[in-house]
Amino acid sequence: MGRKLSEYFGEGGGGFSRKSMLDEKEVKKIVEMTVAEFLEPILKELREIKESLKRIEDKLNNIGEVEPLQERRRVKGGSQRALARDPTVRRIIEVIKRDGYIYASEARVKVGINGFQLLNLARRLQLVTIDLDGDYCIMTQEEFDEFRDYLNSIDTSDPEEAANLMGRYRDLFTRLRRIGSVYFDSSSRSWKLLK
């Protein structure tokens, strides 16, 4: 790969004596030390960046894990009874029974937890979650069945009239229609849910 230094200067050429020239091993050692000194701060900075990225990755992975530590310890066994005794869970179920559903975006106002916490609890409680393109609707299976029955019983194709007939599910119907998740099926003369 490399040429010998003597090839660059010839045998004693260039006004240098053989004694004054560094031999190849010494030059190689000096170059390696210089490169190592040059690379050391760069490698140190790369290690720091790698550690920072690891911390960021850990934080991103923990976003879904939004329950307080005390809550996790209390419900760790996954016991449905323990969840049912939780006051937050009772508030969620209460709101769903009263309103028919709860949006994740309204969780802070209605039940005092953020949307991520609501979604996490909804999964653990096996509640129905409906994706609303940027928001989620959470409801019990009973409320979902009631919503679907309302939807299937409306025989008018007019969306405004259908929304008025949806009762407490009017807003949910309107949002689902806006994103194209409900449609009027002319063959069965009823509204259908896509998702």
pLDDT score for 44: 84
Exposure letters 74-83 (e unless 16+ CB within 10 A, then b)? ebeeeeeeeb
Q: Is residue 68 in some structural domain?
A: no
Q: Is residue 66 in some structural domain?
A: no
Which of 32, 61, 90 corresponds to the end of one domain?
Answer: 61
Range of the domain at 30: 23-61
163 and 188 belong to one structural domain: yes
Which of 111, 137, 163 corresponds to the end of one domain?
Answer: 137
Domain count of the fold of the chain = 3
82 and 121 belong to one structural domain: yes
Under the banding of pLDDT at 50, 70 and 90, the label for residue 139 is: very high
pLDDT score for 47: 86
Mean pLDDT of the chain: 79
Tell whether the model's pLDDT for residue 176 goes beyond 60.
Answer: yes
83 and 133 belong to one structural domain: yes
* pTM: predicted TM-score of the whole model, two decimal places: 0.55
pLDDT score for 45: 85
In the chain, % helix, strand, coil (3-state, to 5) comes to 60, 10, 30
Which of 137, 161, 182 corresponds to the end of one domain?
Answer: 137
What tens digit of pLDDT does each residue of 29-47 get? 888 888 878 888 888 888 8
Three-state DSSP class for 94? helix
86 and 130 belong to one structural domain: yes
128 and 152 belong to one structural domain: no
Pick the residue with more confidence: 175 or 37?
A: 175
- Between CA 34 and CA 28 the distance in angstroms is 10
88 and 46 belong to one structural domain: no
- Of 23-32, 45-54, 118-127, the range with the highest mean pLDDT is 118-127
- Between CA 71 and CA 54 the distance in angstroms is 26
With tokens 């240098």, the residue in question is 16
Q: What distances in angstroms separate CA 58 from CA 24, 71, 117, one per listed residue?
A: 49, 21, 18
Q: Is residue 31 in some structural domain?
A: yes
Q: Is residue 29 in some structural domain?
A: yes
- Between CA 99 and CA 144 the distance in angstroms is 12
171 and 150 belong to one structural domain: yes
Take residue 171 and report the two structure tokens written for it: 């807003």
- Between CA 129 and CA 101 the distance in angstroms is 10
- Between CA 11 and CA 16 the distance in angstroms is 9
What tens digit of pLDDT does each residue of 141-155 get? 999 999 999 899 999
The share of the chain scoring above pLDDT 70, in percent, equals: 74
123 and 170 belong to one structural domain: no
pLDDT score for 103: 94
- Between CA 44 and CA 47 the distance in angstroms is 5
Q: Is residue 12 in some structural domain?
A: no
Take residue 103 and report the two structure tokens written for it: 């949006």
